Amino acid sequence: MMSKLEFHFGTDGVRGVIDEDFTEYLVATLAESTIRYWSRRYGLRHLLVGFDARRKSQDFARIVTSVALNHGIDVVMVNRPTPTPVVAWFGFRFGFDLVIQITASHNPPVYNGFKVISRIGAPAQEEDTNQIEKTYQEEAEDIARSVRDLELRPVPTVDPAPEYINYVIDSVTKMFKPRRRFKVIVDPIYATSIGYTSEILKRLGMDVVEIHSNYDPSFGGRDPNPEPQNIPELIQEVTGGKYEVGISHDGDSDRIALVDQRHGYLSANDILPIVVERLASASMIKKGIVRTVSTTHILDRIAAKYGFKVVEVPVGVKYVARAILNGEVDMGGEESGGLVYSWHIPDKDGIYTASLIIAMASEYGDLTGLIDDVRGKYGRAYFKRVDIDMRNSKMFVNENREALANAFSALGSNPRLITIDGVKVVYDDGSWLLIRGSGTEPKLRIYSEALSMGRVEELINKAVEIVNRLPKP
């Protein structure tokens, strides 16, 4: 008898190192457990399965489809590596009861993952993923027998690209009218956004060049995360004056990074204020916005001007999605590069956001001017995140919560403590410091934002010193 597996749905699914803790048997077990629970709880007749460009992703997807066939489910698989938000939108638009995506998003190339998406295009909430885990714990032996001699069988495939691309163009041009043609360079980093963002922008009237446009499971030897160290060619081409705007996404295209000719690299904490300000000025934000604890407080300044609320939630798009689905807010986002809209799917979509920003900037005049306008109104915040390798990082934060809170509170005046995810302290000069354990990697994350880079560095350095003095799990 095979030994019982250990798995847990983290911030955005189950992830692990391919062939070590993320194996064919684990994928079959996850699929069987998910299908059993979903069928009993919600009913499951139609399943869509997607996959990214990672090693073995398509093979893992075929395992999922074969498990579904054994249950008599009508299952369809995408025909090529496909962005997570595209699979989520297609599943919602065409009435699938459930979507399963094989992806590890922005994680290093050695990882892969299993993500569950509901019929409305939202990431599965904790109450459901907890029940999937419980289903396996209670039925482990029977589940093992069910998947032990799994026969792989062919299933129909579909290309969601044409429908999705037409939808995005129609959606963004109803809100903003592109007026000026930009020279844009797009870097899909050898991953799922190949042929998506570039095609949409061309049809919006932009002059577009796409680089790194072949699928590569090693992502060119870099991590598939659009941070500066992973997109140097894109940054050089734009800041060197050859292009006006650069756009990149992560491995499954739910994140976005921008490069502006004058302002250089723009992270999500730079991008979010631009999007929120333009949407608010167009009267598209009425209820409010949601941001995670690690996301810029410049959004609070914009909200104060327009008179709408800000809801703060733990890190993880599922929490952002929950606030939107509950009808509390109109849109939201998180520091890691994802924006979510109530009129779109309740999940991050880097391709949709890129298209929306280009339409906004083209109507306004240019991206540089748009950035200047927003920073002129609300100021510029500086941000930094430091990752420390640490297993059981969440346990470390939990066991040292009081010590961390006391030490962080001594780093500024009138400290305000927030503990919905890790330990966060906000100071009266507008700066803040956050420490939390990652839900996707064995990392301890430290974040800070302030109105000067000097203050950010001061807070980060003090936090690292504090961490080094505390006992590790």
Residue 30, both tokens: 């996850």
472: confidence class by pLDDT, cuts 50, 70, 90: confident
Query: What are the backbone angles phi and psi of residue 226, rounded to the nearest 5°?
Result: -80, 60
pLDDT in tens, 383-409: 999 999 999 999 999 999 999 999 999
- Give the bridge partners for 183, in sequence order: 207
From 340, 405, 362, select the one nearest 181 (Cα to Cα): 362
The residues with which 186 forms a beta bridge, in sequence order, are 210, 247
Tokens representing 46? Answer: 């139609």
| Tokens linked to 252 | 């499954």
Amino acid letter for position 328: E
**168-189 average pLDDT score:** 97
Are 15 and 443 within 8 A, CB to CB? Answer: no
Confidence of residue 2 (pLDDT cuts 50, 70, 90): low
Mean pLDDT of 85-101: 98
Specify the residue for token string 């032990």: 148
Average pLDDT rounded to a whole number, residues 439-457: 94
pLDDT, tens only, 11-29: 789 999 999 999 999 999 9
CA distance 117 to 207: 34
The CA distance from 181 to 184, in Å, is: 9
Name every residue whose Cβ is closer than 8 Å to that of residue 316 and which is 6 or more positions away in sequence.
Answer: 11, 12, 292, 334, 439
Both structure tokens of 158: 């579909």
Q: 207 pairs with which residues across the strands?
A: 183
pLDDT at 440: 76
Nearest in space to 449 (alpha carbons), one of 291, 330, 319, 339:
291
Which structure tokens are listed for 113?
Answer: 């993952």
pLDDT in tens, 336-383: 878 999 999 999 999 999 999 999 999 999 999 999 999 999 999 999
Indicate yes or no: pTM above 0.75: yes
Domains of the chain with bracketed CATH: 14-159 (3.40.120.10), 162-378 (3.40.120.10), 382-469 (3.30.310.50)
Place of tokens 């504090």: 466
Q: Given pLDDT bands bounded at 50, 70 and 90, which one contains residue 159?
A: very high
What per-residue confidence (pLDDT) applies to 166? 98
Over the chain, what is the mean pLDDT?
96
Residue 316's pLDDT is what?
86
Spatial distance between the Cα atoms of 439 and 12, rounded to a whole number of angstroms = 8
> What is the model's pLDDT at position 439?
79
In tens, the pLDDT along 297-332 reads: 999 999 999 999 999 999 988 899 999 999 999 999
